């Protein structure tokens, strides 16, 4: 409660509205005195203030016996709206002239001093010096001493005045002294020559209204002559008096009186009425539009003042919605806004925290040719000060001063408020001192703001000093000042001081308001002083104030703690009598106050008496029960209500669901929900759905949460931001990221604030699991547009998604972005980067990454090291695993049980028995006991190495350790017995396995059948096989193959045929895949005839023969060089009605690419054309661009085909076209393959600091095309200087062979023939690396790079331009030189040297090679000679040493020679 009270005090530095504040300080009443400091007018030596005796009604009309008490508005002031009264802009006053100058102009010095030059009435009206006359009289009156009277000036008649002039005098004087203005009015009414007029009456009423002298104004209006007072101006003035204090009912009465007397209201009347209504209290929805409609119903069109008054009122209440409605109505009715309008709109936007909108309006104001004034700048200043935007506030202040507006009191108060709110009290005090130094007088608001901010910071010493300074300057503390000080003391725990200030406030004549009472009541309650609290509570109630519900709850809580039932009963009576609370509401207050039992009894009593209960009150009671953890009592109460309360059963059921969810009884809550959900009339509440969804999400009941959310949407209940967020996370966990993403976007469209980080992290993780990386990237991309720095969790989830897909380059790019833009990466980020390389199988690059990270000052954590170790362990790289393991131990990272498990698992896989046993011993020495998984690894190890004795010993250790064998244990033991040719014991162990409730898998059965087959135990094998079929197991082809092998070995062909029939009946194709593999093996080993026999066997057996089986036979003949036989098999296949497909075409095209002559290739391609596929031959013989579209269409048909059909087909085409020098055509097809995603888009790249290529899996011809295109692109970049190259350029070739062709050897031969700077990588095989500088020079200067454009040879060569030799696909003309260089020099030859030798003639090359060999021999001989000389020197050195014996010398000699 204390917090509520303190925060309720004073947002003192609220922005100005549309009133202009005077730069001159107002006169202050300094007669105030306080307990600690007293200040009087006499003590300060100031002049005695003038008082007009007749201003008192008792002095003027004694027979009325009226009192001096003036009306005090009972309107409650909203503390956050300090200084928001609308001050009317003062009209242009009289022209300021010097008094002597006026006297010179108005008097004729030749006349008597007391005589005035008489003018006729007409001349007087036409005179243009009326301003000087008014100013002259005004100055004379205001310069009177307190004991002098107005009559002393007016009786002299020094200036001839009209009635209108006197009105201006009263108005002008009234701006400084309402008493003098009233004295002038009385003086005029006592003159016989003066005729009362409506203008004068309206003027004096306006002056008294501004001075807050309502009772005097009412008196004068009441006693005015009806003929004078019955004018619209007078009524408007009187309405303005009431409106100033927000007395809307009085203004309404005046308007009705006006109409009764036949005086029609004008627009000013309605504007005054609207002003009063906006000041009278909180506005209702659509109040502004209703007031405007009322004006229009009277036949009057609202003007700009009407709209401005409404918008200003909305600004005071921070009612942006209503202000916008009025503004739109204003635009709709073609009423152009003015500066006041924009000031009010800027103010309301600032109050509502929309500084951006306020700034937009400020700019719009300028675009409409309005010049901002001080009010505009102060309003905009407050908008940013409210947000604590110091830079913007300083910028606005500078601009304000630059535009000629000095900082006024409002400006300083706003800045002080901003600093105080931010806790920068030193700055606030500095601004306060600057304010005084610049001649601005701090007012009550200034001091109150300082006291309030210091009090909230518990700096009560400084706050007390500010209060003392305020009193010393003669500024009277206001109620808000005292309230701020009291709140500060209360918050700081200085309750005695708070109580002293409270008493001081009352002694000074300021009556406490509801806030002051509430704070002091809270102070007493916090000190558990129930006696003082009850006394203050009773005084508060007597004075017409009542605590809020929270204070009542606190009061009851204190009383309940003392078991003071009597006082609780009194408070309950007050709640029922004074507040009219029903028993249910009283029960709610009692419940929140901690008096649960009393509250429950009262509610039960009300229900028993047949009373209806209010749902909100019941919710409050249940909420209090829930917050206090008394869910059982809440459920009992609801069950009681279900039995005794009539109606509202659905509501009670929903409440039961909510309470059960909060009590973590989800199953019971779901049962209650489904029980009622079966009723078609059931329509749950938002709270029920929210509780069910949140509870289901917390308990990972995702399906139930999804169903409940669907029900909620079906019943048209709008979810909240929290539900949207929960369901988005639920759908992500259900691997439905698209649905989650849709909900997230829906919430954004509806403007619901969601926690971007958690949802985006979940979305990216879900998309990453599904390998939908583009969608994951889009989530982070949209988040980056909204946030300057994306949360680290989102970045980590994206990098983890890349890691799951093995996209290291993308993961590294994201990592680099984090390093550049923030936030900094963490251990999880680094681990994800490592994981990306691991998934992509690039384990050798892990060390490069680790080195890069260490160069960036990252410390490699233990988890990262373990991740690397596990990766190398999975790949079986025992050397690296051991190196990492020992490095960990040296670094002080002690192994864990998991690490030992990984190490032992790897060592077991690579069958390093001694290392495994040493690791187990080390683990036991470290205090770890092997678990069942480690024992299972040992069982598998000894089984693999066929050390069955140790296998049994490990099983005995398992039993001794008390472990129960699992499926893996039994499976390994059974496999051991099967391999040891002891299937009977294996069967016995399998029975034991079943007794323990473990079922063997099919692999175990297969091992047993294989063991029986190996020993030709037909009956046992058939029994086991038939048993599996009887049990309904779906046996695959391998089981039948085992049985068939057994029957073949036993020469029992009858049973083999029966088994084949059984295989077909079981729905298993018996021979297709098996025969294909068999034929492929025959073909690869050079036995095509055997492959054909298998094919004929399949035909004779009636098996379905496909192009797959034929392709294996045809490929076998073609690879063996039997081209005609291969063509014959193609014709045979067609004759059998089997249409060739891509497999056949690929075989023939690949064979054509390896043909020695073009005629042989043409023969093969003609055979393909005769079979109906003409594209390959046309590619060699035609230059039509239409071929590309045909190939494109054909590739499109191959894309959905499995087994990489399109990829293999394009590779074969590229080989053929390159071989027969159709290289431009090969380029087009290569680019077409990239376009169709057959080849990767980044197969080669020339980007900024990213030059590289990856030709793995490409055929030799495709790789040579891609290499040439890449070189061409890099040449262009080298000449143009963009894109910039990296330091090194990497070409990845891989180590694999494609159709017995080594891509690595092929590309090296091609590059070295050109003398390129590419060299093999020293750390990784299958990679060529060139330094970028050398590469650029070579591309610019080398004659081999003068023309890299691939062209078609217009004349097809008679022989193949390429030749396959030892897995290297090289230019045919280079083969002799290649063989010669390799045989004569051997080993690796420098690329430039190879290029130079290859281009020489045979005779010259022979001389160069011989010279090189001779040079090597000479060098070797010199080295041997130098070595012998060193040996002799060492021996002589030993022999000269007199302390060394000859035996030692001979020993040294032997050591050197060895």
Q: Which residue has the tokens 């979305």?
A: 763
> pLDDT (tens digit, 9 = 90+) per residue, 441-490?
888 888 888 888 888 888 888 888 888 888 888 888 888 888 888 888 88
pLDDT score recorded for residue 1226:
92
**575 alpha carbon, distance to own chain's centre:** 48
> CB–CB of 266/300 below 8 Å?
yes
Q: Which residue has the tokens 């003038």?
A: 50
Instruction: Classify 877 in phi/psi space as left (phi over 0), alpha (psi -120 to 50) or beta.
Output: beta
**557 alpha carbon, distance to own chain's centre:** 42
> CB–CB of 119/160 below 8 Å?
yes
Looking at residue 85, the DSSP 8-state letter turns out to be: P
Confidence of residue 131 (pLDDT cuts 50, 70, 90): confident
Alpha-carbon gap, residue 730 to 308, rounded angstroms? 51
pLDDT > 90: percent of the chain: 9
Asked if residue 42 has pLDDT above 80, the reply is: no
pLDDT score recorded for residue 1083:
62
> pLDDT (tens digit, 9 = 90+) per residue, 472-485?
888 888 888 888 88
pLDDT score recorded for residue 72:
34
Mean pLDDT over the full length of the chain = 78
Alpha-carbon gap, residue 517 to 519, rounded angstroms? 6
Asked if residue 12 has pLDDT above 60, the reply is: no
Q: Which residue has the tokens 């989800």?
A: 666
Backbone angles phi, psi at 1401, to 5 degrees: -70, 165
Q: What is the DSSP string of 1024-1063?
A: HHHHHHHTT----HHHHHHHHHHHHHTT-HHHHHHHHHHH
CA count, 13 A, side-chain hemisphere, 692: 30
Q: Which residue has the tokens 């009326």?
A: 130
Q: 538: Cβ–Cβ under 8 A, 6 or more apart, which residues?
A: none
pLDDT score recorded for residue 1229:
93
Asked if residue 761 has pLDDT above 50, the reply is: yes
Query: Residue 785 burial (CB < 10 Å; 0-12/13-18/19+)?
Result: exposed
Region of poorest pLDDT, from 317-321, 545-549, 844-848, 1258-1262: 545-549
> pLDDT (tens digit, 9 = 90+) per residue, 185-236?
888 888 877 778 888 888 888 898 888 888 888 888 888 776 676 788 888 8
- Torsion angle in degrees (nearest 10) through CA of 1159, 1162, 1164, 1166: -140
Instruction: Classify 404 in phi/psi space as left (phi over 0), alpha (psi -120 to 50) or beta.
Output: left
Backbone angles phi, psi at 1371, to 5 degrees: -60, 135
Alpha-carbon gap, residue 736 to 739, rounded angstroms? 6
Reply yes or no: is the peptide bond before residue 1283 cis, omega within 30 of 0. yes
Number of helical (H) and strand (E) elements in the chain, helices listed first: 77, 9
Selection from 598-602, 822-826, 1063-1067, 1287-1291 with the highest mean pLDDT: 1287-1291
Region of poorest pLDDT, from 63-72, 322-331, 931-940: 63-72
Asked if residue 762 has pLDDT above 60, the reply is: yes
Query: Residue 1392 burial (CB < 10 Å; 0-12/13-18/19+)?
Result: middle
Q: What is the DSSP string of 521-571?
A: HHHHHHTT-HHHHHHHHHHHHHTT----HHHHHHHHHHHHHTT-HHHHHHH
Reading the block at residue 1180, the tokens are: 């060699």
Instruction: Classify 706 in phi/psi space as left (phi over 0), alpha (psi -120 to 50) or beta.
Output: alpha
Confidence of residue 1234 (pLDDT cuts 50, 70, 90): very high
**875-882 — which CB contacts under 8 Å span 24+ positions?**
875/841, 875/843, 876/906, 876/909, 876/910, 877/843, 878/906, 878/907, 878/910, 878/912, 880/843, 881/906
> pLDDT (tens digit, 9 = 90+) per residue, 748-757?
888 877 767 8
Alpha-carbon gap, residue 1320 to 1326, rounded angstroms? 8
> CB–CB of 661/691 below 8 Å?
yes
Alpha-carbon gap, residue 166 to 579, rounded angstroms? 54
> pLDDT (tens digit, 9 = 90+) per residue, 491-511?
888 888 888 888 888 888 788
Asked if residue 654 has pLDDT above 60, the reply is: yes
Over residues 993-1019, mean pLDDT = 84
Over residues 351-356, mean pLDDT = 86
pLDDT score recorded for residue 1332:
92
pLDDT score recorded for residue 1417:
75
> CB–CB of 1162/1169 below 8 Å?
no
Q: Quick one: CA dihedral 1413, 1415, 1421, 1424, positive or negative?
A: negative
Q: 39: Cβ–Cβ under 8 A, 6 or more apart, which residues?
A: 30, 32, 33, 471, 472, 474
CA gyration radius, the chain: 51
Asked if residue 1075 has pLDDT above 70, the reply is: no
Containing 1246, the helix (H) or strand (E) segment is strand 1244-1247
Over residues 1395-1402, mean pLDDT = 66
Over residues 534-545, mean pLDDT = 79
Alpha-carbon gap, residue 385 to 876, rounded angstroms? 65
Three-state DSSP class for residue 508: coil
Length of the chain: 1458
> CB–CB of 204/170 below 8 Å?
yes
> pLDDT (tens digit, 9 = 90+) per residue, 1203-1216?
789 999 999 999 99
Alpha-carbon gap, residue 351 to 383, rounded angstroms? 6
Region of poorest pLDDT, from 28-37, 773-782, 986-995, 1408-1417: 28-37
pTM, two decimals, is 0.39
pLDDT score recorded for residue 1458:
35
Q: How far, in Å, are 268, 327, 506 from residue 18 at the CA level?
A: 18, 15, 35
Tell which wins on pLDDT, 1214 or 783. Answer: 1214
Over residues 917-921, mean pLDDT = 89
Q: Which residue has the tokens 């703690």?
A: 561
Over residues 837-864, mean pLDDT = 86
Tell which wins on pLDDT, 1366 or 1254. Answer: 1254
Q: Which residue has the tokens 């393959």?
A: 1233
Confidence of residue 47 (pLDDT cuts 50, 70, 90): very low
> CB–CB of 1327/1294 below 8 Å?
no
**95-104 — which CB contacts under 8 Å span 24+ positions?**
95/131, 95/132, 95/135, 96/135, 97/132, 97/135, 97/136, 99/136, 99/139, 99/140, 102/132, 102/133, 102/135, 102/136, 103/136
Q: 1386: Cβ–Cβ under 8 A, 6 or more apart, which residues?
A: none
Confidence of residue 1048 (pLDDT cuts 50, 70, 90): very low
Selection from 24-38, 406-420, 559-573, 1114-1128 with the highest mean pLDDT: 1114-1128
Candidates 37, 35, 22, 13; CA nearest to 470 is 37
Angle between helices 615-627 and 631-644 (to 10 degrees): 150
Tell which wins on pLDDT, 1139 or 634. Answer: 1139
Q: 901: Cβ–Cβ under 8 A, 6 or more apart, which residues?
A: 931, 933, 934, 937
Pairing of strands 1288-1292, 1250-1254: parallel
Q: What is the DSSP string of 742-772?
A: HHHHHHHHTT----HHHHHHHHHHHHHHTT-
Query: Residue 167 burial (CB < 10 Å; 0-12/13-18/19+)?
Result: buried
Asked if residue 1179 has pLDDT above 80, the reply is: yes
Asked if residue 37 has pLDDT above 60, the reply is: no
Three-state DSSP class for residue 1302: strand
Looking at residue 194, the DSSP 8-state letter turns out to be: -
Candidates 1281, 1285, 1282, 1251; CA nearest to 1267 is 1251
């Amino acid at each position: 409660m204390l917090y509520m009270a303190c925060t309720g005090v004073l947002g003192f530095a609220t922005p100005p509205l549309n009133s202009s504040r005077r730069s001159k300080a107002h006169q202050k009443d300094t007669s105030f005195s306080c307990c600690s400091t007293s200040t009087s007018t006499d003590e300060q030596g100031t002049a005695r203030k003038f008082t007009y005796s007749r201003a008192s009604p008792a002095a003027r009309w004694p027979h009325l016996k009226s009192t001096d008490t003036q009306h005090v508005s009972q309107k409650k002031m909203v503390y956050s709206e300090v200084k928001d009264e609308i001050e009317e802009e003062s009209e242009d006053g009289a022209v300021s002239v010097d008094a002597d100058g006026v006297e010179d102009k108005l008097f004729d010095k030749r006349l008597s001093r007391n005589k005035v030059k008489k003018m006729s009435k007409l001349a007087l009206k036409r005179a243009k010096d009326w301003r000087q006359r008014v100013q002259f009289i005004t100055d004379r009156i205001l310069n009177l001493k307190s004991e002098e009277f107005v009559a002393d000036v007016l009786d002299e008649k020094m200036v001839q005045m009209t009635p209108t002039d006197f009105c201006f005098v009263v108005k002008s004087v009234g701006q400084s002294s309402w008493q003098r203005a009233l004295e002038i009015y009385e003086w005029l009414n006592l003159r016989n020559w003066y005729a009362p007029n409506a203008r004068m009456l309206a003027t004096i009423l306006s002056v008294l209204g501004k001075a807050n002298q309502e009772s005097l104004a009412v008196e004068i209006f009441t006693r005015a002559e009806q003929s004078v007072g019955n004018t619209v101006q007078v009524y408007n003035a009187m309405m303005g008096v009431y409106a100033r204090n927000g007395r809307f009912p009085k203004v309404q009465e005046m308007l009705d009186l006006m109409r009764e007397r036949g005086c029609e209201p004008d627009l000013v009347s309605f504007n005054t009425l609207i002003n009063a209504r906006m000041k009278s209290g909180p506005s209702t929805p659509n109040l502004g539009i209703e007031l405007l409609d009322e004006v229009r119903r009277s036949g009057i069109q609202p003007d700009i003042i009407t709209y401005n008054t409404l918008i200003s009122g909305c600004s005071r209440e921070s009612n942006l919605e209503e202000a916008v409605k009025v503004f739109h109505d204003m635009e709709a009715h073609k009423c152009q806004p003015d500066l006041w309008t924009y000031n009010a709109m800027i103010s309301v936007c600032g109050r509502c925290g929309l500084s951006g909108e306020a700034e937009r309006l400020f700019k719009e104001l300028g675009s409409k040719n309005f010049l901002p004034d001080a009010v505009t700048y102060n309003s905009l200043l407050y908008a940013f000060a409210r947000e604590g935007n110091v830079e913007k506030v300083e910028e606005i202040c500078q601009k304000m001063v630059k535009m000629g507006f000095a900082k006024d009191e409002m400006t300083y108060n706003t800045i002080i408020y901003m600093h105080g709110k931010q806790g920068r009290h030193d700055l606030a005090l500095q601004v306060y001192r600057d304010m005084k130094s610049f001649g601005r007088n701090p007012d009550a608001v200034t001091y109150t703001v300082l006291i309030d901010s210091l009090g909230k910071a518990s700096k009560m010493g400084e706050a007390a000093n500010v209060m003392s300074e305020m009193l010393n300057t003669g500024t009277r503390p206001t109620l808000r000042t005292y309230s701020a000080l009291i709140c500060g003391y209360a918050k700081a725990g200085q309750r005695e001081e708070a109580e002293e200030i409270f008493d001081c406030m009352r002694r000074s004549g300021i009556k406490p308001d509801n806030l002051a009472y509430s704070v002091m009541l809270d102070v007493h309650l916090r000190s558990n002083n129930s006696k003082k609290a009850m006394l203050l509570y009773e005084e508060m109630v007597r004075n017409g104030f009542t605590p809020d519900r929270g204070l009542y709850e606190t009061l009851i809580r204190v009383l309940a703690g003392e078991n003071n039932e009597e006082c609780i009963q009194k408070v309950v009576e007050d709640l029922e009598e004074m507040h009219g609370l029903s028993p249910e509401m009283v029960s709610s207050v009692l419940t929140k106050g901690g008096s649960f039992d009393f509250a429950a009894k009262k509610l039960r009593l009300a229900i028993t008496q047949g009373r209806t209960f209010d749902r909100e009150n019941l919710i409050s009671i249940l909420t209090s029960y829930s917050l206090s953890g008394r869910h059982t009592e809440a459920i009992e109460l609801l069950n009681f209500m279900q039995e005794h309360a009539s109606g509202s059963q659905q509501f009670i059921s929903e409440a039961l669901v909510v309470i059960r969810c909060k009590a973590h009884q989800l199953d019971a809550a779901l049962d209650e929900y489904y029980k009622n959900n079966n009723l078609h009339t059931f329509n749950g509440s938002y709270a029920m759905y929210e509780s069910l969804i949140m509870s289901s999400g917390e308990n990972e009941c995702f399906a139930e949460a999804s169903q409940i959310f669907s029900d909620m949407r079906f019943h048209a209940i709008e979810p909240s931001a929290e539900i949207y967020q929960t369901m988005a996370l639920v759908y992500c966990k259900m691997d439905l990221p698209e649905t989650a993403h849709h909900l997230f976007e829906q919430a954004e469209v509806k403007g619901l604030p969601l926690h971007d980080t958690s949802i985006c992290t979940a979305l990216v993780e879900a998309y990453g699991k599904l390998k939908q990386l583009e969608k994951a990237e889009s989530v982070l991309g949209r988040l980056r547009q909204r946030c300057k720095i994306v949360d680290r969790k989102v970045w980590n989830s994206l990098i983890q998604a890349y890691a799951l897909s093995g996209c290291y380059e993308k993961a590294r790019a994201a990592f680099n972005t984090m390093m550049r833009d923030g936030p900094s990466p963490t251990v999880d980020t680094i681990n994800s980067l490592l994981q990306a390389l691991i998934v992509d199988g690039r384990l050798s690059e892990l060390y490069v990454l680790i080195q890069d990270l260490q160069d960036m000052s990252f410390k490699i954590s233990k988890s990262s090291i373990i991740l690397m170790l596990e990766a190398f362990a999975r790949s079986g790289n025992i050397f690296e695993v051991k190196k990492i393991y020992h490095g960990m131990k040296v670094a002080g990272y002690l192994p864990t049980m998991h690490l030992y498990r990984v190490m032992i698992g790897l060592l077991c896989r690579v069958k390093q028995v001694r290392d495994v046993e040493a690791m187990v011993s080390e683990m036991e020495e470290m205090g770890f006991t092997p678990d069942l998984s480690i024992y299972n690894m040992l069982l598998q190890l000894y089984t693999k190495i066929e050390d069955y004795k140790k296998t049994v010993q490990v099983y005995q250790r398992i039993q001794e350790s008390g472990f129960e064998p699992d499926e893996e244990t039994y499976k390994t033991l059974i496999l051991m017995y099967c391999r040891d040719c002891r299937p009977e014991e294996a069967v016995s162990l399998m029975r034991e396995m079943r007794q323990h409730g473990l079922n063997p898998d099919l692999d175990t059965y297969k091992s047993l059948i294989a063991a029986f087959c190996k020993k030709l135990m037909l009956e046992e094998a058939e029994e086991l096989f038939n048993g599996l079929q009887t049990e309904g197991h779906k046996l695959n082809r391998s089981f039948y193959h085992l049985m068939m092998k057994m029957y073949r070995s036993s020469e029992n062909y009858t049973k083999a045929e029966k088994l084949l029939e059984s295989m077909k009946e079981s729905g298993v194709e018996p021979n297709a895949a098996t025969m294909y593999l068999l034929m492929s093996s025959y073909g690869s080993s050079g036995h095509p005839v055997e492959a054909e026999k298998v094919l004929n066997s399949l035909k004779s057996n009636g098996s379905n023969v496909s192009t797959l089986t034929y392709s294996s036979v045809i490929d076998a003949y073609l690879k063996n060089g039997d081209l005609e036989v291969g063509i014959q098999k193609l014709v045979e296949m067609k004759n059998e009605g089997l249409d060739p497909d891509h497999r056949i075409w690929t075989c023939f095209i690949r064979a054509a690419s390896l043909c020695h002559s073009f005629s042989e290739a043409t023969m093969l391609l003609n055979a393909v054309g005769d079979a109906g596929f003409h594209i390959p031959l046309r590619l060699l013989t035609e230059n039509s661009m239409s071929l590309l579209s045909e190939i494109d269409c054909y590739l499109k048909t191959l894309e959905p085909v499995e087994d990489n059909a399109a990829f293999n087909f394009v590779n074969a085409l590229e080989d053929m076209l390159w071989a027969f020098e159709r290289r431009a055509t090969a380029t087009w097809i290569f680019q077409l393959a990239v376009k169709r995603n057959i080849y990767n888009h980044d197969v080669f790249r020339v980007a900024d600091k990213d030059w590289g290529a990856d030709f793995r899996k490409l055929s030799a011809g495709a790789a040579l095309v891609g290499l040439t295109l890449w070189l061409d692109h890099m040449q262009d970049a080298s000449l143009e200087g963009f894109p910039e190259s990296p330091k090194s350029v990497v070409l990845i070739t891989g180590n694999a062979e494609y159709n017995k062709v080594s891509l690595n050897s092929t590309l090296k031969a091609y590059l070295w023939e050109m003398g390129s700077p590419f060299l093999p990588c020293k750390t990784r095989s299958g990679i060529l690396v060139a330094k970028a500088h050398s590469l650029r020079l070579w591309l610019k200067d080398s004659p081999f790079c003068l023309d890299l454009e691939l062209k078609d040879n217009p004349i097809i060569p008679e022989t193949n331009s390429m030749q396959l030799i030892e897995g290297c696909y090289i230019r045919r003309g280079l083969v002799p030189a290649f063989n010669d260089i390799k045989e004569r020099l051997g080993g690796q030859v420098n690329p430039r040297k190879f290029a130079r030798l290859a281009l020489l003639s045979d005779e010259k090359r022979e001389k160069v090679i011989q010279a090189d060999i001779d040079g090597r021999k000479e060098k070797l001989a010199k080295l041997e000679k130098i070595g012998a000389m060193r040996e002799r020197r060492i021996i002589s050195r030993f022999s000269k040493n007199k302390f060394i014996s000859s035996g030692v010398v001979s020993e040294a000699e032997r050591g050197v020679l060895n």
